[in-house]
């Protein structure tokens, strides 16, 4: 059965984007990372929020622009949106209901991970009790503003159990299991 994983690069001060959804801050930190290399073949599908899908691409102007993980991964992608595009992107399924999109992504993933892209979709996974693991790639930078990793005013605490810590020159990776 598929596990739901939120993997994301973030600044030390907890931002996954800069102001106005800017992802270009990430470019200097996208170098080789064995943790990412190990993860990619274990991803069976993507569950993406529409803002993340349509947003800024840290690979802009490079080979792999517009592709998951800069072209390092390919497979089924499910975008949660109430406004499907009139000209849908090939290989992307647009679903107007979070629960239906998650179910389809899990089925497509088989025994692999459903990789979550986007803070809002990750929050919905947490609120639905569907998030199994979190993989954080901390880049050695502070942004001061942008989209936070997780915001849930008045929400309950989400407990995590550390599974691993990996260091590279460009990022420190922390992998957690969500404790039910």
For position 51, what pLDDT does the model report?
62
Q: What is the pTM of this model?
A: 0.89
Q: Residues 46, 104: contact at Cβ < 8 Å? A: no
Q: Tell me the β-bridge partners of 165.
A: 174
Is CATH 3.40.1020.10 what the domain over 3-178 is classified as, yes or no? no
d(CA 9, CA 23): 10
Q: Which helix (H) or strand (E) holds 165?
A: strand 160-167
Strand 133-139 versus strand 172-178 pairing type: antiparallel
d(CA 118, CA 163): 22
Helix, strand and coil content of the chain, in percent to the nearest 5, comes to 25, 30, 45
pLDDT in tens, 133-148: 999 999 999 999 999 9
Instruction: Map out the domains of the chain as residue ranges.
Output: 3-178
Tokens coding 64: 């792999």
**Residue (of 2, 56, 103) closest to 95 by Cα position:** 103
% of the chain residues with pLDDT over 70: 88
Place 91 in a pLDDT band, splitting at 50, 70 and 90.
confident
For position 84, what pLDDT does the model report?
79
């Amino acid at each position: 059965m598929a596990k739901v994983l939120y993997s994301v690069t973030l600044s030390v001060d907890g931002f996954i984007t800069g102001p106005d959804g800017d992802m270009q801050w990430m470019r200097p930190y996208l170098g080789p990372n064995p943790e990412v290399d190990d993860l990619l073949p274990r991803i069976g599908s993507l569950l993406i929020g529409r803002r993340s899908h349509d947003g800024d691409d840290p690979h802009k102007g490079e080979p792999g622009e517009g592709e998951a993980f800069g072209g390092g991964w390919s497979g089924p992608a499910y975008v949660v949106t109430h406004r499907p595009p009139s000209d849908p992107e090939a290989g992307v399924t647009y679903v107007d209901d979070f629960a239906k999109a998650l179910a389809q992504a899990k089925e497509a993933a088989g025994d692999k991970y459903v990789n979550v892209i986007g803070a809002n979709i990750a929050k919905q996974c947490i609120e639905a009790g569907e998030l199994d693991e979190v993989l954080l790639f901390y880049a050695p930078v502070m942004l001061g503003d942008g989209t936070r990793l997780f915001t849930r005013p008045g929400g309950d605490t989400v407990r995590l159990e550390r599974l691993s810590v990996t260091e590279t020159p460009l990022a420190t990776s922390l992998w957690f299991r969500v404790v039910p």
